């Protein structure tokens, strides 16, 4: 005899149908996602994620599965774009839906880096920060106003090198900090252990630690953020509080300095002072000015450091490039003065050196992650809403079809020489894409150029010789959002007594 159906039977049957439907829909959807390495149930590709220099593994997966690679990390979809063509087609051309940022619970929410532009969600605050920055450094004309500061700081950099030639890393950090602090706050740094530079360095180091994937469980289980700080196992909350204090000081202390100077009418014009004077300050406006100035500092201090370091590294590794660039400067500028921005258009080979520095090792090999705001389809694939989309900038700039022999540092690839057209300008990719493109790109381009040009005019960069033996170096880079050359030794000496005199001539 057949037992009559109970409510429980009906509930179980309904659940089974719903589960089956979900599995079928998911696997149908999965079939429409781009290909990628096969992961495990639930955790997806978590165990296959590379621990360092992710851009190399992502590029390898691109060769194996096709340029667009799909990954799933505990259910979080991630899409890697390994070609410039796809990055432009999606992040540039469909920018209105590809411009959000993923939420980082430890770094963004608990510590407060979401107030810094790079992690600010796509919305009103994002637009306001970008508007303020565009007025100051948004184009070539705006940046031209800052040429005198950059030229003066380039000479100060040469002096620091001359005084402490063995402290290259520290000298470069001071130099980058000096430019951005002058522009953002009208602040002149102290030569020894500047308190603002030290504070910012600490905040940036904590940022790197806080946003390293897998470093904090709260990024995997966001509900943990509600745990009280005293709860056993909640030490991350206390760390977050401490690091939040550092970040707030990084934004507050220089801002207060400008206001103090303005009250005494002694301020040096800067991003902050100009906005505080100009803007009819409405509610919340001062907050935006303070945090966009801190965003300039956070975005500008560490990035150019890596590029300038790469410049020294490559001059050491490719001495023939250094010689040719110096010969070009000598023939155009002469040896009685240092190069200025007025010389730039007449120095195509030095321009090629700058482009190669930005291409050979892009400081942000994977840029910053974008977040897709709604479902999208592209070349027959489904890209789900909420997916994290990453452009493999390193791969775009090392694609052998676009840049033949990509590991060669060859400035001539950017010249129209011997009837050859220049290869694509790396600046079209290294600064990112769409509405999130680096707002500091013109400042970066000009400040790195003047630094390289003056260093080439004044110094020879050579291998260290010890006990008659040349110390060779093997170039190595750190992992992380901003990738730096690992420390290396080099000898930096004035090219002549005349060059040395020029450095101290002002």
The full DSSP string for 244-296 is HHHHHHHHHHHHHHHHHHHHTT-PPP-HHHHHHHHS---TTHHHHHHHHHHHH
CA distance 52 to 214: 12
Query: Closest CB to ligand HEM among 390 and 502?
Result: 390
**C-beta separation of 369 from 388 below 8 A:** yes
Going by the DSSP 8-state scheme, the letter that residue 418 receives in this structure is T
- From the list 37, 66, 118, 165, which residue makes contact with ligand HEM (rule: CB under 6 A)? 118
Scanning 292-300, 329-337, 341-349, 372-380 for contacts with ligand HEM by CB under 6 A, the matching segment is 292-300
- From the list 437, 464, 473, 490, which residue makes contact with ligand HEM (rule: CB under 6 A)? 437
Query: Closest CB to ligand HEM among 103 and 437?
Result: 437
Closest residue by Cα to residue 487 from 359, 309, 365: 309
Binding status of residue 483 toward ligand HEM by CB under 6 A: no
Q: Report whether 438 belongs to an annotated binding site.
A: yes
Binding status of residue 363 toward ligand HEM by CB under 6 A: yes
**C-beta separation of 101 from 116 below 8 A:** no
Give the pair of three-digit tokens for residue 422. 């220049």
Query: Closest CB to ligand HEM among 129 and 216?
Result: 129
Going by the DSSP 8-state scheme, the letter that residue 439 receives in this structure is T
Helix (H, G, I), strand (E, B) or coil at 470: strand
Query: Closest CB to ligand HEM among 237 and 484?
Result: 484
Binding status of residue 436 toward ligand HEM by CB under 6 A: yes
Scanning 65-73, 274-282, 303-311, 473-481 for contacts with ligand HEM by CB under 6 A, the matching segment is 303-311
CA distance 410 to 396: 17
The contact pattern for ligand HEM, residues 231-270, with x = CB under 6 A and - = no contact, is: ----------------------------------------
Scanning 38-46, 75-83, 434-442, 466-474 for contacts with ligand HEM by CB under 6 A, the matching segment is 434-442
State the nearest-atom distance from the C-beta of 427 to ligand HEM, in Å: 9
412 phi and psi, to 5 degrees?
-70, -15
Give the pair of three-digit tokens for residue 164. 């402490």
State the nearest-atom distance from the C-beta of 232 to ligand HEM, in Å: 37
Which single residue is written with the structure tokens 């389809």? 377
CA distance 77 to 388: 6
State the nearest-atom distance from the C-beta of 172 to ligand HEM, in Å: 12
Binding status of residue 299 toward ligand HEM by CB under 6 A: yes
CA distance 155 to 295: 26
**C-beta separation of 297 from 181 below 8 A:** yes
Query: Closest CB to ligand HEM among 433 and 459?
Result: 433
- From the list 262, 368, 373, 473, which residue makes contact with ligand HEM (rule: CB under 6 A)? 368
- From the list 440, 456, 458, 461, which residue makes contact with ligand HEM (rule: CB under 6 A)? 440
- β-bridge pairing 370-371 and 388-391: antiparallel
- From the list 110, 117, 168, 461, which residue makes contact with ligand HEM (rule: CB under 6 A)? 117
Rounded to 10 degrees, the C-alpha dihedral 430/431/437/438 comes to 160
Scanning 106-114, 328-336, 394-402, 431-439 for contacts with ligand HEM by CB under 6 A, the matching segment is 431-439
- From the list 295, 412, 454, 460, which residue makes contact with ligand HEM (rule: CB under 6 A)? 295
Going by the DSSP 8-state scheme, the letter that residue 79 receives in this structure is E
CA distance 352 to 422: 10
State the nearest-atom distance from the C-beta of 123 to ligand HEM, in Å: 11
Binding status of residue 433 toward ligand HEM by CB under 6 A: yes
Binding status of residue 102 toward ligand HEM by CB under 6 A: no
Binding status of residue 82 toward ligand HEM by CB under 6 A: no
State the nearest-atom distance from the C-beta of 408 to ligand HEM, in Å: 20
Scanning 16-24, 105-113, 367-375, 454-462 for contacts with ligand HEM by CB under 6 A, the matching segment is 367-375
CA distance 51 to 47: 10
Closest residue by Cα to residue 498 from 322, 336, 332: 336
Total residues found in the chain within this entry: 506
State the nearest-atom distance from the C-beta of 117 to ligand HEM, in Å: 4
**C-beta separation of 82 from 395 below 8 A:** yes
Going by the DSSP 8-state scheme, the letter that residue 477 receives in this structure is B
Binding status of residue 488 toward ligand HEM by CB under 6 A: no
Binding status of residue 364 toward ligand HEM by CB under 6 A: yes
**C-beta separation of 187 from 257 below 8 A:** yes
Binding status of residue 177 toward ligand HEM by CB under 6 A: no
Binding site for heme: what residues are annotated?
438
Given the rule CB under 6 A, which residues bind ligand HEM? 117-118, 180, 295-296, 299-300, 303-304, 307, 363-364, 367-368, 370, 430-433, 436-440, 443-444
Q: Residues comprising the binding site?
A: 438
């Amino acid at each position: 005899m057949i037992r009559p159906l109970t409510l429980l039977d009906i509930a179980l049957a309904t659940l089974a149908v719903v589960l089956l439907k979900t599995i079928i829909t998911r696997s149908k959807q999965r079939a429409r996602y781009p290909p990628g390495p096969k992961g495990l149930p639930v955790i997806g590709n978590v165990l296959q994620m590379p621990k360092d220099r992710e851009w190399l593994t992502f590029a390898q997966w691109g060769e194996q599965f096709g340029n667009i690679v799909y990954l799933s990390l505990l259910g979080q979809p991630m899409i890697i774009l390994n070609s410039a063509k796809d990055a432009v087609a999606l992040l540039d051309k469909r920018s209105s839906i590809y411009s959000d940022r993923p939420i980082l619970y430890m770094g963004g929410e608990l510590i407060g880096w979401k107030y810094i532009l790079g992690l600010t969600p796509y919305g009103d605050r994002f637009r306001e920060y970008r508007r303020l920055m565009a007025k100051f450094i948004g184009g070539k004309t705006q940046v031209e106003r800052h040429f005198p500061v950059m030229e003066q700081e380039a000479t100060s950099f040469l002096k620091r090198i001359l005084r402490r030639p063995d402290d290259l890393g520290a000298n470069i950090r001071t130099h980058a900090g000096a430019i951005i602090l002058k522009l953002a706050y009208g602040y002149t740094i102290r030569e020894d252990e500047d308190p603002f530079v030290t504070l910012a360095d600490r905040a940036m180091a904590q940022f790197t630690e806080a946003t390293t994937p897998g470093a904090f469980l709260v990024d995997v289980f966001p509900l943990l953020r509600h745990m009280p700080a005293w709860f056993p196992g909640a030490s991350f909350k206390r760390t977050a509080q401490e690091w939040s204090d550092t970040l707030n000081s990084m934004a507050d202390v220089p801002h207060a300095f400008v206001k103090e100077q303005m009250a005494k009418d002694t301020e040096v014009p800067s991003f902050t002072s100009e906005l505080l004077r100009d803007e009819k300050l409405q509610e919340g406006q001062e907050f935006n000015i303070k945090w966009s100035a801190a965003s300039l500092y956070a975005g500008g201090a560490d990035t150019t450091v890596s590029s300038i370091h790469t410049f020294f590294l490559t001059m050491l590794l490719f001495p023939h490039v250094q010689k040719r660039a110096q010969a070009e400067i000598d023939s155009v500028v002469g040896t009685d003065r240092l190069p200025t921005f007025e010389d730039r258009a007449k120095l195509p080979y030095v321009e090629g050196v700058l482009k190669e520095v930005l291409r050979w090792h892009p400081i942000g090999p994977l840029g910053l992650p974008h977040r897709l705001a709604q479902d999208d389809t592209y070349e027959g694939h489904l890209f789900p809403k909420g997916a994290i989309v990453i452009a493999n900038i390193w791969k775009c700039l090392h694609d052998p079809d676009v840049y033949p022999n990509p590991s060669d540092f060859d400035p001539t690839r950017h010249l129209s020489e011997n009837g050859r057209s220049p290869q694509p300008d790396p600046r079209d990719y290294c600064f990112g894409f769409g509405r999130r493109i680096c707002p500091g790109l013109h400042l970066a381009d000009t400040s790195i150029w003047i630094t390289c040009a003056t260093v080439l005019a004044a110094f020879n960069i050579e291998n260290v010789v010890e006990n008659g033996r040349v110390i060779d170096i093997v170039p190595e880079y750190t992992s992380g959002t901003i990738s730096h050359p690992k420390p290396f030794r080099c000898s930096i000496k004035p090219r002549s007594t005349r060059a040395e005199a020029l450095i101290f001539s002002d």
